[in-house]
Chain A
Amino acid sequence: KAGVTQTPRYLIKTRGQQVTLSCSPISGHRSVSWYQQTPGQGLQFLFEYFSETQRNKGNFPGRFSGRQFSNSRSEMNVSTLELGDSALYLCASSGTSGRGDTQYFGPGTRLTVL
């Protein structure tokens, strides 16, 4: 079974631009979560989607948004990019959105903001 895939793998943007990242979960998985990883803050939860609905949201500004499609694929968008948004953005999928359901991660998208 194929794992979680994320595109693009690398991205360079300038301040003020916006960016869209894509995630395809493991086949059959209906929950997709997004995390931001930086050297300073580690891995931080952004949001979780299940059946096209945002189930949970982390403590990030409204510039960060996401959505999920009927095939469970998900996108996240960051508008008005700031230098501090440079990070590895990780997507994880799980079968359900329930507590204790193992999350499997993709390789991430490395975003650099200049």
Chain B
Amino acid sequence: GESVGLHLPTLSVQEGDNSIINCAYSNSASDYFIWYKQESGKGPQFIIDIRSNMDKRQGQRVTVLLNKTVKHLSLQIAATQPGDSAVYFCAENPYSGYSTLTFGKGTMLLVSP
């Protein structure tokens, strides 16, 4: 789920576990979605994207699932590592003709060795 302000939802996992981060998007007209990872003191880093004509897309250790019926997006990280600890944002591209993104509030992932 999403939270407001400093109280980001937090997912704590052990190294080697699989992680699932969820996101609800707001605009049914959105047809492009991106997951970003943001480490402390850095800008958001592109992880993986998916277009609305797909339900699933896989990258290296990451999988994004899209459920347009309930406007839900998830990011699965396999064999989570301490270096995966960061805040993860989902973003949607709702504006026709532009690349403008609308971001979710973010989820903090904490990976313990």
Footprint of B on A, CB under 8 Å? 4, 31, 33, 35, 39-40, 42-45, 48, 55-56, 58, 90, 92, 94, 96-108
Contacts and interface: CB of A to CB of B under 8 A. Distances in A.
Contacts of B34: 102-103
Contact of A56 (B45, B91, B95): B95
A101 B103 CA distance: 15
B50 to A, nearest CB: 10
Given A39-B5, A55-B98, A105-B36, A100 B43 contact: no
A105 B99 contact: no
A43 B89 contact: yes
Interface of B: 4-6, 31-32, 34, 36, 41-46, 49, 51, 89, 91, 93, 95-106
Nearest 3 CB-CB pairings of A with B: A105-B43, A43-B103, A100-B32
A7 to B, nearest CB: 13
B20 to A, nearest CB: 21
